[in-house]
Amino acid sequence: MTQSPWQPISPEKPARPVREPLSRERIVDTAMRMLVEQGYEAVSMRKVAQALGTGPASLYAHVANKQELDNLLVNRAAREMEFPEPDPDNWQEQLKASMREMLRVMRAYPGVARAAIGQIPLGEQAMLSTERFLAILKAGNLPDQAAAWAVDLIPLYVTAVAFEESVQRTWEWTEDDIEGFVSELRSYFNSLDPQRFPITIALAGALTSGGSGDERFEFGIQVITAGLASLARQQG
């Protein structure tokens, strides 16, 4: 039946925008963005769901709980780590370079270090990072048990450095902030009871100097690498 010419024409209803289906990838994308912009404490299953315009129950169909979400965030960050091909003649420098690379990625995603603490990295990308560290350690002819413990020790050290930086938000510190903090800390050490803390007072200058956080990090990776080198089996 044709429409009467006197009947008002009903306006067409606007098409509803097609909502992108929820997926694990979208959840991790959103959580990672929140992690970088707002910090680790801002990332909860409820808040991620709100950012995606859905309810927490929808998230649980893709991610079991907050612990799994943390693992997924660590795994996502591990995608960006680059490792050299193991070289037995250069394994110590390669190990140092790989530790620097891990710190670089954690600095690029503030909050990832907090997500990594206490986690066993079982995601595919995180496991590949472990595999590559092991390959470098074995290229250095380390005993199996030493390599196994080292691949646990190394991320603990790097993660602790990155976590401390994220808590202190060191990237926001100015030169005046640093000088003021160091000055106050040195004054505190010097105010201690000399009968109980004679060495601390004597080393107050050294304890509150030593350059930037990068220099301290380099000292740590040098100590770790030298210690592991001392355990390497001699060829021949």
- What is the per-residue pLDDT for 109? 93
CATH number at residue 175: 1.10.357.10
In a domain, 168, yes or no: yes
Mean pLDDT across 190-196: 94
**pLDDT above 90: residue 182:** no
Structural domain of 141: 82-231
Residues 132 and 214 in one domain: yes
In a domain, 186, yes or no: yes
Q: What gap in Å lies between CA 142 and CA 162, rounded to an integer?
A: 27
Residues 40 and 119 in one domain: no
Is the CB of residue 81 less than 8 Å from the CB of residue 155?
A: no
Q: What gap in Å lies between CA 212 and CA 216, rounded to an integer?
A: 7
Residue 132: which H helix or E strand, with range? Answer: helix 124-139
In a domain, 3, yes or no: no
- What is the per-residue pLDDT for 179? 82
Residues 55 and 150 in one domain: no
For residue 156, give both structure tokens.
């603990």
In a domain, 57, yes or no: yes
In a domain, 71, yes or no: no
Is the CB of residue 96 less than 8 Å from the CB of residue 220?
A: no
**pLDDT above 80: residue 18:** no
Mean pLDDT across 185-203: 94
- What is the per-residue pLDDT for 120? 84
- What is the per-residue pLDDT for 129? 95
For residue 163, give both structure tokens.
């976590």
Residues 137 and 219 in one domain: yes
Residue type, 234: Q
In a domain, 74, yes or no: no
- What is the per-residue pLDDT for 136? 98
For residue 31, give both structure tokens.
């959580």
**pLDDT above 70: residue 151:** yes
Residues 190 and 122 in one domain: yes
Question: Which residues contact residue 18 at a Cβ distance below 8 angstroms, ignoring those fewer than 6 apart?
Answer: none
Number of CB atoms found within 10 A of residue 66's CB: 15
Residues 103 and 153 in one domain: yes
Mean pLDDT of the chain: 88
**pLDDT above 80: residue 170:** no
**pLDDT above 70: residue 9:** no
- What is the per-residue pLDDT for 236? 38
DSSP state for residue 41 in the 8-state scheme: G
Residue type, 92: Q
Residue 210: pLDDT band by 50, 70, 90 thresholds?
low
In a domain, 4, yes or no: no
User: What's the number of domains the chain is made of?
Assistant: 2
Residues 121 and 48 in one domain: no
Residues 147 and 226 in one domain: yes
**pLDDT above 80: residue 4:** no
In a domain, 2, yes or no: no
- What is the per-residue pLDDT for 178? 76
pLDDT in tens, 86-145: 999 999 999 999 999 999 999 999 899 999 987 888 899 999 999 999 999 999 999 999
Residues 105 and 56 in one domain: no
Residues 185 and 150 in one domain: yes
pLDDT in tens, 70-80: 999 999 999 99
Mean pLDDT across 39-53: 92
Q: What gap in Å lies between CA 144 and CA 153, rounded to an integer?
A: 14
Is the CB of residue 142 less than 8 Å from the CB of residue 227?
A: no
How far is Cα of residue 192 from the mean position of the Cα atoms in its chain?
Answer: 36
Residues 173 and 88 in one domain: yes
Q: What gap in Å lies between CA 63 and CA 68, rounded to an integer?
A: 6
Residues 147 and 36 in one domain: no
